[in-house]
Amino acid sequence: MRYVYAFAEGSKDDRDLLGGKGANLAEMTSLGLPVPPGFTITTEACRAFRTLGQSPDGLDSEVRDHLGRLEGAMGRRLGDASAPLLISVRSGAKFSMPGMMETVLNIGLNDETVLAGSAGSNDERFAWDSYRRLLQMFGRTVLDVPGQRFDIVLDKAKADAGAARDIDLTPDQLRDVVARYKDVILESTGHAFPQDPFDQLDAAVLAVFRSWDGDRAKLYRRQEGIPDDLGTAVNVMAMVFGNRGEDSGTGVAFTRDPASGAVGAYGDYLPNAQGEDVVSGIRNTMSLDDLAQRHPQQHADLLANMNRLETHYRDLCDIEFTIEQGRLWMLQTRVGKRTPEAAFRIAIQLVDEGLIDMDEALRRVSGAQLARLMFPQVDPAEAGRPWVTGVPASPGAAVGNAVFDSKRAAVRAAAGERVVLVRRETNPEDLGGMIAAQGILTSRGGKTSHAAVVARGMGKPCVVGAESLVVDEEARIAIGPDGVTLKEGDPISLDGIAGAVFRGEVAVVPSPVVSSLDSIEDLRHADDPVVAAVARLMKHADDVRRLGVRANADTGEDAARARRMGASGVGLARTEHMFLGDRKQLVVRLVLAKTDAERAIVYEELLPLQRRDFTDLLAEMDGLPVTVRLLDPPLHEFLPDLTELSVKVALEDIRGNRDSEHHQLLEAVRVMHEANPMMGLRGVRLGLVLPGLYGLQVRAMAEATADRIAAGGSPLPEIMVPLVAARTELALVRDEAERVIASVAEERGVDLEISIGTMIELPRAAIRAADLAQVAEFFSFGSNDLTQTTWGFSRDDVEGAFFTTYLNANIFSVSPFETIDADGVGAFIRMAVEAGRAVRPSISLGVCGEHGGDPASIHMFHDWGLDYVSCSPFRVPIARLEAGRAAIAADASDTR
Amino acid sequence: MRYVYAFAEGSKDDRDLLGGKGANLAEMTSLGLPVPPGFTITTEACRAFRTLGQSPDGLDSEVRDHLGRLEGAMGRRLGDASAPLLISVRSGAKFSMPGMMETVLNIGLNDETVLAGSAGSNDERFAWDSYRRLLQMFGRTVLDVPGQRFDIVLDKAKADAGAARDIDLTPDQLRDVVARYKDVILESTGHAFPQDPFDQLDAAVLAVFRSWDGDRAKLYRRQEGIPDDLGTAVNVMAMVFGNRGEDSGTGVAFTRDPASGAVGAYGDYLPNAQGEDVVSGIRNTMSLDDLAQRHPQQHADLLANMNRLETHYRDLCDIEFTIEQGRLWMLQTRVGKRTPEAAFRIAIQLVDEGLIDMDEALRRVSGAQLARLMFPQVDPAEAGRPWVTGVPASPGAAVGNAVFDSKRAAVRAAAGERVVLVRRETNPEDLGGMIAAQGILTSRGGKTSHAAVVARGMGKPCVVGAESLVVDEEARIAIGPDGVTLKEGDPISLDGIAGAVFRGEVAVVPSPVVSSLDSIEDLRHADDPVVAAVARLMKHADDVRRLGVRANADTGEDAARARRMGASGVGLARTEHMFLGDRKQLVVRLVLAKTDAERAIVYEELLPLQRRDFTDLLAEMDGLPVTVRLLDPPLHEFLPDLTELSVKVALEDIRGNRDSEHHQLLEAVRVMHEANPMMGLRGVRLGLVLPGLYGLQVRAMAEATADRIAAGGSPLPEIMVPLVAARTELALVRDEAERVIASVAEERGVDLEISIGTMIELPRAAIRAADLAQVAEFFSFGSNDLTQTTWGFSRDDVEGAFFTTYLNANIFSVSPFETIDADGVGAFIRMAVEAGRAVRPSISLGVCGEHGGDPASIHMFHDWGLDYVSCSPFRVPIARLEAGRAAIAADASDTR
C-alpha cells in the first residue's frame, strides 16, 4: 500500500484517492502551471488511520521520503536555520467540504528559523507575522486552543500600538505577539509549542485526519449525503507568501461570473496578505482590473492560466493564487460553485464555445436548480434577518397579511387583499384558505406535512415547522421568539427557499423562467440569457428523455396549467377533490343513506357534477391520456372530526339541546370511525362495499368521453383502481366498469375505448403483480402509500415523531417520502415492473406518488424501466429536465 | 374424451373423475360385493356442461351405450312394458356435499310400465307407490315444483283414507295419488310428466349437473372451502327395491359407532321402505340386532361385507344397503364422518388391529378435533334454542352472571361469583375483567377482535359480534331481539363452539382431555379410551414433528401453563402487558417526563418490577428458551382516549374547573395522538427515540438472568426487537443491548449468553432479510403485523367493515388473519427464510403471530422450513399435533 503521491504523479481523475484538491493540484502541475511543489497523503491513509486509531505503518517513512524530494526541489530544508523550508498542510476530501476541515500554513517556523534570511525590517515584519500565523493556526486547529484567546492578544497588541491593521504592527510588536501566543499555547495545553518542524508536520497531518470525524464535518456530510467512510487526503506544499510586501499578494478568481453567469473572469485580490485574509473579509479587496493596473504581467499570466484551466476542465473553474514578490503561483483550482442562473447560462455558453456538447450541458444543470429559477424569490439583500425560521417546504416568495383561519383568508382574498395563511398545521378543511393565500406558514409539520405537500402541488411558497412561533388560532395571533406578537392583518413575508419568515413586506424578485415554459420553442433565442439557456436545455432534455412526464391534476384548470408546463397527460386525477366544497353535503347524505334507493338519489345528483369534472379534464388534455383514480379515501374523511364533534355534542347536551343534527351525525361518525384510517375502509374496498359508487364514477367518465367525442375531441381516458391487493378485487371492479362502459357506449352509439388499470401501492400488489397484470392494462405506482406500508409507518404520524432521530442515526440519509427508498420500496417496484411486463408486454408503467417529481427518484425510475412519472404541474418542467438527465447519465448514482 | 365408466371399470382412487360415490361403487363392485350394476357419468362431463351450457358432444351416445349394457346385464329394458328396467340417478361429487345435490329414483316408470309384472295386490301397491315416488322426486328436483304441493296431495289422500302411514294406502288410493301428482306437474310446469323413460333419464342427468351451481351447493362449498370448478359426477344404477314387501327393506350402517368410537357395527334398518324413508325419520327404525332376528343370513352377509370394507378401506365406513325380497344389495359406502372423540379412538383402534400405522392414525385426526375435545362443552340436548347467536370466537362453555364492566367483573369474581363479561367490544382496559370472567360476550367485532384474540389466548369461551344484542354499558343492560332485557347479575351461558348465547344456566360437559395433557406419558393406558387415544397420538406427533412449539406467555403463570401443555419455550413474551395495571401510572409519568433525569427516576422504579417479571418467566421455563419482545405499542395506548378526555375537559371547563389534572394530561395526549397509531411511533422506533427505555428492559432481563444463574437455574433468554425495517435500527439496539449485558455481566461476575434477534413483521424487513440476518441471531415472524402491512389494512378496522363482502366475493376463502395468506404474506416469509439462512446458516426461525396456532398455517410453516411456531398456551397441544401431521403429510394441501 502506497500512501503518498507527489503532485507530478496524479491527475484530476484521482479524486477518490487524492481528494479533490490534491487531484486538481496534480492536474495543474502536469499542465505546467506554476504550482509550488508538494505531495498528497491519500484518503487511503486517512481510512487506515480511522480503522487503526493511529498512522498506518510506512506512512511516516513515505512522508519523509517525499519531504526530502521537496527539500531538494526547493533547495531548502525543513528546520534549517539558514534556508528553512516552510510548508502548508491542507485537508482535501473527494467532495468539497468548505470550512469543515483544517489548514495549517507556515510549518517549519520556530524560534531558530524565524529570522533566517531576513534582511531589513520588512523581512523581519514578514518573518514574525508568519510565525504568529503559524502559532495561531496550529494552536487552534491542531491543539484545540480556543481561537479567541489568540484574537484577544492580537487585538490588545493593535490597541496598545494604536495600529488599525495587522500590517501596521512593527516587527518588535509582532515578536511580542509571538511570545504571548506561545504563552497562550503553554497555558491552554500544558505543553510548549513544538519547536521541531517534523513534529509540527506530523501533528498537523494527524489533526487533518481527526478533523474528518469532527462534529462540523459529520453534520455537513449528513446534510450533503456524503458517505462517512471516504476519509480525507492531506496536501503538503511548499509555502509561497503573499504577505511578503507590497509586491506580493493573494487572491481568488472565477473564470466566469458565478452569480450571473456572465462571460469574463471575476475575482478579488488583496496585496501583502495570506489566503485567509481574503476569505475572512478583514480588509477590502481589489478587483482583477485593479490587479491588471498593479501587476500587468502577472495579471496576463493569471488570465492565461485561467483560460487554460477552463478549456482543460471544460467548465467554470475557481482558483486561488498568490503573487510572491512578483512571481505568480497557482495554489488551488476546482470546478466552481454557481447560482442556478449561472449554471444554465454557463452550460449553454460552453456549448456555444464548442467546449462541451448538449448532453454534457444537460449534465451540468439540475432540476433543483431549475426549481429555484421558477419561483419568485425574496431579495436577500433587501430582506435582512428573518424573524423566525422553519423548514423550507415549497420554494418561492410570498408577501401578504397574516390570517389565522381559512374562511377569513378566502373572504379577505376575495376582497382583493393579499394574505398569508398562518396555522399550527393544515388539514383538508384548509384547502380554500390555501388556494386564497399567497403562501402558507405553519408552526408544526415537516416537508411532507399536509401544508407542504398541498402547497408544493399548488406551486405556492410554504414554510412549515416554524417551531419557535406560538400560533394561537383562537386569539388570531402568533408570538415570535422575540416576544413580538403578529396580529391578524399584519404584513408578513415568506421565503420558501430559505425557510425564512419576515415581518413586514420584503422585496420580491419574480421569475422570468416560468412564463417562458409554455412556449419554449420560441424562446431559445430570448433576450434574457437565462430564459434562452433554460429553453435550449429543456428542448434537449425533451429530445433525449425516454420517461414520459405527466401531471397530477384534479381540475381542468390544473390540467391546463400542466399542459403549459409540458405535461404529456394527466397521470393522476384524484376524484376525492371532487367531493369537497359544496359537494361535501352529498357525501354526508351518502354516508347517512341506509338503502340502495337513498344512495341512488345521491348518485343521481353527483353524476352530472362528476361528468363535468371529467369533461373539463379531457377537454384540457385533448389527445393526451387522462388517468382518473376512483375514490380512494375513507368516507369519514369527509365528515367532521370525532373528537371535535364529541365535545360539541357533550356541550349541547349540557345546554339541554339533546336532539341537534350533530347528535345524528355523531352516531354516523362513531360508526365510521377507524383506529387507523390509512389501513381501513378505503380504495377498492370502499368501491366493493358501497354498491354503486364506482359504477357512478365510471359512468360519469364514460359519458364525459362520449360527450368529448361528440364535440369532436380525442379523449384518452384511463380508469385507475386504488389500493388493490388481490386480483379478484380488480377483476370485480373491472367487470362492473366494462358493463357500465358498454352500456353507455350503446346508449350513446359510440365506441368507447377506456383502459383500466391499477395502482400498485401495497406490498401484496407488488408481489402479486403477475396476477394483477392479467386484468390491468397499466400499473401506476403509488409510491407514497407503498412507502408507508413497506416501512409500516404513516407519513402523517412519523415525521415529527422520529424522522430527526432516524436521519441523525443514519437509518435514512434522506426521508423515504422525499426520495424513493431504493433498497426496500424500490425492490418492490422493480419486482412489479418485471412481473408486469412478463405477463403483459404492452403494459404501461408509471409512478404517481410525490416521488414522481423528485430528481433523485426520477433517475431511479428511468433506470428501472418505467414509462412515465406523474407529478404536480409545477414540477413538470423539473421532471422533464431530470428525465432528460437520467437518459444521458452514465449511471444512476450520478445525481449528487 | 370419454364421459362414462361402468362401475366395473373404476376404483376408489378415481374420486376426481367419478366423484366419491361413483369411485366407491366401483371399488365395491371390483371387491365382488353385491352392487346393482350401473355406470358413472364423469365430473368432466359436468365441467363440460358448465362451460358449454349444454351436454357435451358424445355424452348421449355413451350413455345409450352403457344403458344398453346395463339392460343386457339385468335382462330388462328401459320402457319395456313387460320387463321394464328401472334406474336411479344420483349426484356424487369428489367431496361429500350432503343434502346439497339431487337424486331421482325409479326412472323408467310410466303409465305403461307401472304395472308390468304385477301379480297380486301387493305388487300393485308397490308399483303405484314406486311411480308416485318417481313423480314426486322428478317433479321436485328436475322440474322445480315446490315439494309441498306433493305433500298436500299425499296428506289429503291419507286423511281421506284414514291411513296413518303411506304404506297403509291401497293400490287404488295410490293410483289416485299418482293421477293427482301428474296434475300437479302439469299445472306447475305447463308440461305433462315425460312418459318416455329416456327423456326422464336425460332430464335427471342435466338436473344433477345444474344442481352443482344451485345456491345451497355454492353456499356449502364456500363454507367448506371446496373449489367451484370441480363439478359433480352422476351415478346411474339399476333400481333395487326395499319397498317390495315385508321381505324387503333398507338401512344405513357404520362399521363402528361414529359418535363414541366404540367398536362394533352400528346401524338402522327399516322394513318395506326406500332409502329416503330412513333418513327422513318418518318411521321408527330398527337396530341391526333386530335385523339379525328378522333376516339372520342377510345380517351375517351385511356384517361380512362391512368387515370386508373396513379392512379394505382401513377406516370407519358408512354404508347404505337394501334387501329386496330377501336379497342383500350394497348401494353405497364411504369413509364415515365421526365426532372428535370417535376420530381419536378409532384411529388408535385401527392401529391396534394392525390395519394402519401410527403415521396414518395421526393423519386421521386434526387439531380442530383436538380443540373441540379440550373445551368444556354446552350439552346441546339440555340447552334448547339459543337466545341470541354471534361469531364463535373461542370454544368452550361458560356459565355465569352477566356483568357489563370489567371492574365490577373483577370485584364480583373476587367475591367468588362466576361472571360472564358482556361488552359492546373490549379493549386492553378490560383485561382484568376478562381474566376474572368465565367467558366473554360482545355485540361487535369478529374472530380476530380484541375480545376474540385475548380470550383465545386465555383459553376462555368467547362469543363476539352478537349483533342482535343491544348492549347499553351505561345502563348495565343488554336487550335481545325478543325484547327481553338482561340485567347485571342475571345468569347467562355461552357456547363458544356454536357461537350461541343462552339465558339462564345450561348444563356443561367438562373435557377430560385437558387435565391429561401435562402427563401424557402416564396416560397412554388411561381408563378413558379417548384420553388414552389422544395421549398416544400426541406422543407420536411429538416423535415425528420437526417444528418446535413454543408458547406466547407474558407471565410466570402463563409460562407454567404453557409448559404443562407441552411448550418447549416461550416464543413471545409481550412486555407491554407488564406496563398495565398499577404500573400504568409509571407510564403516564414517563410520558410527562421532560428530561432524561426525570425519565431515569421512572426507570429506576420500573427496573425491579420488570426484573421480577423476567425472573418468573425464566424460572418457569428453566432450561428452555424465553423470547422477550422489547416494548412495542405506542405509549399513548397507555394513556386515556383523546375523545373521552377532550369531552371530560370541555365539561370541566364549563363548570369552571379550568385547571384539573385532566388538562395537563390532555395536552400530553394531544401531542402524542396519532392518526394511525398502528403505523406510528412504536416498536424499535420508540426504543430509538425514547432514551433509556430499551436499555432498562435489557438490564432487567440481564439481571434476571444473573439471578437465575445464581439460584442454580439454566436460563435461556432471548431479546427480540419489534417492528424493525432496516438493519441500522437493529444494529443500534443491539449495540446498546450488548453494552448493557456486558456491564451487568461484569457487575455480577457471571457469563451472560443472551441472544438478540428481530421480528420480521414489515414487508421491508422481509425483503431486506439478508441485511438483518447479519445482526440478528433469530427471526420471529410477526404474522399479524406482516399481514396488516402486506395487505395495507388493520385488523381492528376491517373485519366488520368489509371482510364479509370479501369472503362472499371470494377475494379470500378465509380471513388472512386466521390462516396465513400463502401467496402474499407467505411469499415474504419464504423470501426471508431463504435470505436469512443464506447469510447465517445457524439462524433460528419462528412465528409468533396468531397464525402460529392455526392448523392450516402450521402445515405451511413446516413446508417453508421454519424451526418453530409460538402460540397461546391453550393452543400448544393443537400445534404439536398439527406439527406432527405436517411432518408426515404427503403434501401441504392435505389439510381439509
pLDDT at A392: 81
Closest to A496 (Cα-Cα) out of A378, A586, A611, A618 = A378
The secondary structure element, H or E, covering residue B456 is helix B450-458
pLDDT tens, B197-244? 999 999 999 999 998 988 778 877 876 778 888 999 999 999 998 988
Separation between Cα atoms, residue B49 and residue B54, nearest integer Å: 5
Mean model confidence pLDDT for chain B: 89
Does the annotation count B848 as an active-site position? yes
CB-CB contact of B826 with A767 (8 Å) = no
**Which of A811, A828, A829, A831 would you mutate first to test chain B, the one with the most B CBs within 10 A?**
A811
Question: Would you call A590 helix, strand, or coil by DSSP?
Answer: helix
pLDDT at A891: 44
Confidence grade of residue A895 (pLDDT, cut at 50, 70, 90): very low
pLDDT higher than 70, residue B813: yes
What secondary structure, in 3-state letters, does A709-723 show? HHCCCCCEEEEEECC
Contacts of B725 in chain A (CB under 8 A): 790-792, 824
Question: Would you call B531 helix, strand, or coil by DSSP?
Answer: helix
Cβ neighbours of residue B358 under 8 Å, at least 6 residues apart? B351, B536, B537, B540
pLDDT at A800: 65
Contacts of A653 in chain B (CB under 8 A): none
pLDDT higher than 60, residue A401: yes
Supply A485's cell numbers.
406578537
Q: How far is B806 from chain A (nearest CA, A)?
A: 8
Question: DSSP for B114-126?
Answer: TTTT--SHHHHHH
- What's the rounded mean pLDDT across residues A153-167? 88
Confidence grade of residue B896 (pLDDT, cut at 50, 70, 90): very low
Closest chain B residue to the Cα of A726, Cα to Cα: B811
Does the annotation count B851 as an active-site position? no
* Residues, chain B: 896
pLDDT higher than 50, residue A812: yes
Cβ neighbours of residue A32 under 8 Å, at least 6 residues apart? none
Confidence grade of residue B582 (pLDDT, cut at 50, 70, 90): confident
CB-CB contact of A35 with A25 (8 Å) = yes
Q: How far is A680 from chain B (nearest CA, A)?
A: 5
Burial of B611: CB neighbours in 10 Å, binned 0-12, 13-18, 19+:
buried
State percent of chain A over pLDDT 70: 95
The secondary structure element, H or E, covering residue A550 is strand A548-552
Query: Residues A526, A527, A528, CA angle at the centre, nearest 5°?
Result: 95
pTM score, whole prediction: 0.81
Contact yes or no for B790 and A789 at CB 8 A: yes
Contact yes or no for B797 and A679 at CB 8 A: yes
The CA-to-CA distance between both ends of chain B, in Å, stands at 30
Which residue pairs, CB below 8 angstroms and at least 24 apart, start in B623-626? B623/B713, B623/B714, B623/B716, B624/B563, B624/B567, B624/B568, B624/B569, B624/B570, B624/B716, B625/B550, B625/B569, B625/B570, B625/B716, B625/B717, B625/B718, B626/B559, B626/B569, B626/B570, B626/B573, B626/B715, B626/B716, B626/B717, B626/B718
Sign of the torsion angle spanned by Cα atoms A407, A412, A415, A417: negative
Question: Would you call A7 helix, strand, or coil by DSSP?
Answer: helix
- What's the rounded mean pLDDT across residues A708-726? 97
Cβ neighbours of residue A867 under 8 Å, at least 6 residues apart? A547, A548, A844, A845, A846
- What's the rounded mean pLDDT across residues A352-373? 93
CA distances from A488 to A27, A451, A464, A471, A691 (A): 60, 20, 19, 11, 47
pLDDT at A892: 38
Contacts of B792 in chain A (CB under 8 A): 678-679, 723, 725, 761-764, 785, 789
Contact yes or no for B792 and A723 at CB 8 A: yes
Supply B111's cell numbers.
303409465
pLDDT at B280: 52
CB-CB contact of B240 with B322 (8 Å) = yes
Q: How far is A812 from chain B (nearest CA, A)?
A: 9
| Cell 433460528, residue located | B844
Separation between Cα atoms, residue B611 and residue B625, nearest integer Å: 17
pLDDT at A896: 34
Residues forming a β-bridge with A397 = A495
Confidence grade of residue A223 (pLDDT, cut at 50, 70, 90): low
Q: How far is B823 from chain A (nearest CA, A)?
A: 8
Q: Which residue has the higher pLDDT, B513 or B54?
A: B54
Local structure of residue B35 (DSSP, 8 states): P
CB-CB contact of A286 with A271 (8 Å) = yes
CA distances from A849 to A12, A299, A716, A780 (A): 40, 54, 21, 9
**Residue B441 phi, psi (nearest 5):** -130, 125
Contact yes or no for B794 and A643 at CB 8 A: no
Mean pLDDT is highest, among A808-817, B117-126, B854-863, for: B854-863
- What's the rounded mean pLDDT across residues B636-644? 81
**Which of A663, A670, A789 would you mutate first to test chain B, the one with the most B CBs within 10 A?**
A789
Other residues' Cβ atoms within 10 Å of the Cβ of residue B227: 10
Other residues' Cβ atoms within 10 Å of the Cβ of residue B430: 22
Q: For A314-377, where are the alpha helices, taking DSSP H only?
A: 340-352, 358-363, 367-374
Contact yes or no for A728 and B785 at CB 8 A: no
CB-CB contact of A257 with A342 (8 Å) = yes
pLDDT at A279: 54
Confidence grade of residue A447 (pLDDT, cut at 50, 70, 90): low
pLDDT at A368: 87
Nearest Cβ partner for A688 among B674, B728, B802:
B802
pLDDT tens, B849-878? 889 999 999 999 999 999 999 999 989 999
pLDDT at B894: 39
* Residues, chain A: 896
Contact yes or no for B797 and A676 at CB 8 A: yes
For B166-182, give one letter per residue: b (16+ CB within 10 A) or e. Answer: beebebebbbbbbebbb
Longest CA pairwise span in chain B (Å): 108
